[in-house]
């Protein structure tokens, strides 16, 4: 039951509220502002009914003091008809609504219900915003590679600015995730983040989608439509696949970026556009400019801060971290027991080129975790299509000489493969595996940690032989 604090010096008014509301609300009473402030701090009510005219501390002063304690709790002012002007001033000072004496019973109940419902909705929205902000915090972007560390640093540096950002990278590398991280770590986080895929909307509809249209602007325009730029006011608009925009649409976006204004299709009124633009593409825009399909002036406008997201094949050290992240995500999102992955399976997946990048990996790990009847994912859980692709990949020496992968990655790949094979051949006893490899157990443990290799059970394998006391002679 919601708690309502009534602050009014008239006993008859208190009795009226008690008789009218006692079945629906838990009621608290105070006869002046000072007592009301004390009750407010003690009881933490859900709503306050506050009289304007009271002895010692009047309603306006009490309102200000209450707002210093809590800026969110709904406060409804109680006033005589001739004091409406003062009630309006109170609303400007932080009150949510006002009621005039004598009260209309239905109006009183409606105002209380509406105000409490709005407050609950605001709390829910704020909780959702907080949850979303956590989801897109920097700590949730996975990657320990040098390439990803450079991305993190740049994102942190430019997030809380108005600067236009251009995200570059292959499909599936996480461009929208970075765009959301930029938005939710900026001062625009409490305003809309809207994403539009420029390649998914027909050219004839794209302009209306972006800028909106007036009724009658074209044959099917039966009513006014508010476009993405207008909806994203004070927020962020993410233009994915920006290279797919027509030249005429590019010209209009350029105008918005330069003038911060636009017109709806068929309209005559200029509309302010306080919108941050984040654009993304998997194409070489400089090549598109040479071909005449992308405007050079727009390129310079959106390419203020370029951020390149490397494909997974160029940052293989991030693959074990991402696989673990997606396994954890799967187990937390559904009533499934936590699952881990064998060192051999991890090594095979680290050799895969991941043409679909992070998006492909997430889908694959979800598939493997869902279909596996065991708590431990092994080679048999890798889909046959992926295994065939692995057989088709060139050997490491050819991949290096052809420039497909750098030497450092090939060395890491070979290390991972050799350690995995040594662990398997030694029954995952780390001391034996280290002897096979000609290194110490400590060196092996260090390399396993660095490469994200684990034993056949969850976590790194506990070497029982190493911890066993020596046999007595």
Q: Which domains does the chain have, with CATH numbers?
A: 3-131 (3.40.50.2300), 137-310 (3.40.50.300), 314-467 (1.10.8.60)
Helix, strand, coil percentages, rounded to 5, for the chain: 55, 15, 35
**pLDDT at residue 233, rounded to an integer:** 92
Does the pTM surpass 0.95? The reply is: no
State the Cα–Cα distance between residues 397 and 391, nearest whole angstrom. Answer: 15
**pLDDT at residue 158, rounded to an integer:** 95
Do the Cβ atoms of 21 and 4 come closer than 8 Å?
yes
Do the Cβ atoms of 261 and 147 come closer than 8 Å?
no
State the Cα–Cα distance between residues 239 and 179, nearest whole angstrom. Answer: 10
**pLDDT at residue 400, rounded to an integer:** 59
**pLDDT at residue 138, rounded to an integer:** 67
Of the candidates 38, 52, 39, 43, the residue with the CA atom closest to the CA atom of residue 9: 52
State the Cα–Cα distance between residues 27 and 21, nearest whole angstrom. Answer: 8
CA angle 26, 32, 35 (to 5 degrees): 65
**Mean pLDDT by 10-residue block, N- to C-terminus, for the chain (473 residues)?**
93 91 93 93 94 88 93 90 77 88 87 92 74 65 86 92 95 93 91 93 86 77 83 95 94 93 85 93 95 96 95 89 90 77 89 92 93 89 86 60 64 77 79 88 82 50 45 44
**pLDDT at residue 455, rounded to an integer:** 52
CA angle 121, 125, 130 (to 5 degrees): 150
**pLDDT at residue 316, rounded to an integer:** 86
**pLDDT at residue 333, rounded to an integer:** 67
State the Cα–Cα distance between residues 427 and 419, nearest whole angstrom. Answer: 12
- In the three-class reduction of DSSP (H, G, I as helix; E, B as strand; rest coil), residue 49 is classed as strand
**pLDDT at residue 466, rounded to an integer:** 46
Which residue do the tokens 């709790």 mark?
73
Do the Cβ atoms of 307 and 155 come closer than 8 Å?
yes
> Per-residue DSSP letters for 130-191?
HHHHHHTSGGGS---SHHHHHHHHHHHHHTTS---EEEE--TTS-HHHHHHHHHHTSTTTTS
**Total count of residues recorded for the chain:** 473
**pLDDT at residue 462, rounded to an integer:** 44
Do the Cβ atoms of 185 and 227 come closer than 8 Å?
no
Give the relative orientation of helices 343-351 and 407-425 as an angle to the nearest 10 degrees: 160
> Per-residue DSSP letters for 242-305?
GGGS-HHHHHHHHHHHHHSEE--BT----EE---EEEEEESS-HHHHHHHTSS-HHHHHHH-SE
């Amino acid at each position: 039951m919601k708690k309502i604090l009534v602050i009014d010096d008239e006993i008859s008014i208190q009795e009226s509220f008690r008789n009218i509301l006692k079945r629906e609300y838990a009621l608290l009473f105070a006869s002046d502002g000072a007592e009301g402030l004390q009750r407010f701090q003690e009881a933490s009510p859900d709503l306050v009914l506050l009289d304007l005219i009271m002895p010692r501390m009047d309603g306006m002063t009490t309102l200000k003091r209450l707002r210093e304690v809590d800026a969110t709790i709904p406060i409804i002012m109680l006033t005589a008809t001739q004091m409406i002007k003062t009630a309006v001033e109170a609303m400007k000072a932080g009150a949510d609504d006002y009621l005039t004496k004598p009260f209309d019973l239905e109006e009183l109940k409606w105002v209380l219900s509406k105000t409490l419902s709005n407050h609950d909705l605001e709390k829910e929205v704020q909780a959702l915003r907080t949850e979303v902000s956590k989801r897109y915090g920097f700590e949730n972007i996975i990657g320990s590679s040098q390439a990803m560390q450079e991305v993190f640093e740049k994102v942190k540096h430019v997030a809380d600015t108005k600067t236009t950002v251009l995200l570059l990278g292959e499909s599936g590398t996480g461009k929208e995730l970075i765009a959301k991280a930029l938005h939710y770590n900026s001062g625009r986080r409490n305003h809309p983040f809207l994403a539009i895929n420029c390649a998914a909307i027909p050219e004839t509809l794209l302009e209306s989608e972006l800028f909106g249209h007036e009724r009658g602007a074209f044959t099917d325009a039966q009513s006014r439509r508010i476009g993405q730029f207008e909806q994203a006011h004070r927020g962020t608009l993410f233009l994915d696949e920006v290279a797919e925009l027509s030249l005429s649409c590019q010209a209009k976006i350029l105008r918005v970026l330069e003038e911060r204004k636009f017109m709806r299709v068929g309209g005559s009124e200029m509309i302010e556009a306080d919108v941050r633009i984040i654009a993304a593409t998997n194409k070489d825009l400089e090549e598109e400019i040479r071909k005449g399909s992308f405007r050079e002036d727009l390129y310079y406008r959106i390419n203020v801060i370029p951020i390149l997201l490397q494909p997974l094949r160029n940052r293989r050290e991030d693959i074990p971290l991402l696989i673990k992240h997606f396994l954890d995500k799967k187990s937390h999102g559904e009533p499934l027991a936590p699952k881990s992955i064998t060192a051999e399976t991890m090594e095979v997946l680290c050799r895969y080129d991941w043409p679909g990048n992070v998006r492909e990996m997430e889908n694959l790990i979800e598939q493997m975790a869902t279909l596996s009847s065991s708590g431990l994912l092994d080679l048999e859980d890798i889909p046959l299509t992926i295994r065939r692709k692995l057989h088709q990949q060139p050997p490491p020496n050819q991949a290096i000489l052809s420039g497909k992968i750098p030497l450092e990655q090939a060395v890491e790949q070979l290390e991972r493969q050799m350690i995995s094979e040594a662990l398997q051949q030694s029954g995952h006893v780390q001391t034996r595996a280290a002897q096979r490899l000609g290194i110490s157990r400590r060196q092996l443990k260090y390399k396993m940690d660095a490469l994200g290799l684990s034993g056949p059970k969850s976590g790194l394998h506990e070497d029982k032989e190493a911890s066993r006391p020596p046999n007595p002679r």
